[in-house]
Amino acid sequence: MKKYFIRKLFRSAFLMAGAMFFSISFVKAQTKAEIESAIKEAYEKFKDLKEGKNADYIKELATVDPNIFGIAVVTTDGQVITLGDIKSMVSIQSVSKVFTMAKVLEEQGPQAIQDKIGVDATGLRFNSIVAVELQKGKEINPLVNPGAIASSSLIGGADSAAKMKNIMDIHSAFAGRELSLNWPVYVSEAGDNLRNQAIAHLLKAYGRMYFDPVQATDIYTKQCAINVNAKDLAVMAGTLANGGVNPVTKKKVVSPSTVMYTLPVMVTAGLYDNAGIWLFNTGLPAKSGVGGGLLAVVPGKFGIAVVSPPLDAAGNSVKAQKVIAYVVDKLKLNPYLITPKN
Ligand code: GLU
């Protein structure tokens, strides 16, 4: 009997040591020097690229300097590495959808997101009205406009101001500093967002809007106008990479479970109609916005973000996609790149 227990003890010690070795080798951090050299190479390689064009369907975005080009990495142990322009602020736009969704997940759990919004790719453009109509408001997800406006309607807060404060607070907690609104961008979009208002009303007609549709659209439009730079976005991505604890402030922002349910939606729908191509090339959860920001999450290792306003036809920053894909390749970060054991 005693022998049995000793054997059992040895066996569990052995398994534990094995598991520890596995997790350490799996999340083995790239050194700061390796990351610095990879982003420097990418910066040099793509800095003169002239492809793409600023979004102009929101008039104010057409006036943003297309030469803004900043890269930032924030590791899960709190190192911040930046290159290029990290001073210029751009509006966060669709990248905000991730953090509002995360807060709704935190408040209401994954079942509510599944039942009240959906987590499937629509296969249609991010602001498609047809996508809502085809599925009677179902089978959408929080990273396209209908699902994002529904998230803004679901977020905690008794009235519009309280909901907006909740959204500002969660974005600031993810970024590790108090963020603020870009009013000209907000005013510019708010005066011209009939399409998003139509989406919100159609959702309401199908019983899938959980607050006044005009106010929910307004909250959503404001959240899209939050000002960020590449470093802010990288801290936000780093917080997701670190299971919901901000690696810079060390504060818990959301639970590991919320992150676990957030990342797959980013994989499914993070880069508009090119989410599949992005995943094929990088294997990473990511989110872009028409302001020119793009962030990607390397789970357990780091968050990386690039700001560069010119977009491709799908609405993703051209330089940002190229820089991140280059770094992923260089540092072998694709989680589906598996080293055989023998
Ligand atoms: N505020 C923008 C819209 O609703 C966000 C679009 C985006 O970044 O994809 O059209």
CB within 6 Å of ligand 1 — which residues?
Answer: 93-94, 126-127, 145, 189, 196, 224, 289-290, 315
Residue 133 to residues 122, 137, 203, Cα–Cα distance (Å): 11, 6, 9
Q: Is the pLDDT of residue 238 over 80?
A: yes
* Residue 55 dihedral angles phi and psi, to the nearest 5°: -60, 145
Q: Which atom of ligand 1 approaches the CA of 290 most closely? A: 8
Domain for residue 70, yes or no?
yes
pLDDT digits 0-9 by tens, 26-80: 445 678 999 999 999 999 999 999 999 999 999 999 999 999 999 999 999 999 9
Sign of CA dihedral 24, 25, 29, 33: positive
Collect all residues with Cβ–Cβ distance below 8 Å to 260 and sequence separation of at least 6: none
Give the distance (Å) from ligand 1 centre to CA of residue 342.
47
Question: Which CATH number do you get for residue 282?
Answer: 3.40.710.10
pLDDT at 28: 54
Nearest residue to 143 (alpha-carbon basis) of 158, 126, 123, 157: 126
Nearest CA to 26 out of 18, 15, 36, 38 is that of 18
Residue 93 resides in a domain: yes
State residue 18's pLDDT score: 43
- Tens digit of pLDDT for each residue in 287-328? 999 999 999 999 999 999 999 999 999 999 999 999 999 999
- Most ligand 1 atoms within 8 A of CB, residue of 126, 132, 151 to mutate: 126
Alpha-carbon separation of residue 14 from 27, 59, 280 (angstroms) = 20, 62, 37
Asked if pLDDT for residue 271 goes beyond 90, the answer is yes
- Please name which of 87, 142, 102, 154 lies closest in space to residue 268, comparing C-alpha atoms: 142
Decide if 238 is inside a domain.
Answer: yes
The confidence score (pLDDT) of residue 24 equals 41
Identify the residue whose C-alpha is closest to ligand 1 atom 7: 94
Residue 136 pLDDT? 87
- 1 vs 78, higher pLDDT: 78
Q: How many domains does the chain have?
A: 1
Residue 339 belongs to a domain: no
pLDDT at 29: 66
Residue 305 DSSP one-character state: E
How far, in Å, from the CA of 65 to the mean position of ligand 1? Answer: 18
State the closest ligand 1 atom to the C-alpha of 289, by its place in the atom list counted from 1: 8
Residue 53 within a domain: yes
How much is the average pLDDT of 96-111? 98
**Residue 67 belongs to some domain of the structure:** yes
Q: 188 lies in a domain? A: yes
Structure confidence at residue 21 as a pLDDT band (50, 70, 90):
very low
Identify the residue whose tokens are 């935190």.
106
Q: With beta carbons less than 8 A apart as the criterion, state whether 224 and 94 touch.
A: yes
* 92 alpha carbon – ligand 1 mean position (Å): 9
Residue 341 lies in a domain: no
- Mean per-residue pLDDT, 252-280: 96
With 70 as the cut, is the pLDDT of residue 103 above it?
yes
pLDDT recorded at residue 14: 44
293: helix, coil or strand?
Answer: strand
Could you list the residue range(s) of the whole structural domain that residue 136 is in? 2-330
The pLDDT value given to residue 139: 81
| Burial class for 161, CB neighbours closer than 10 Å (0-12, 13-18, 19+) | exposed
pLDDT of 30 = 79
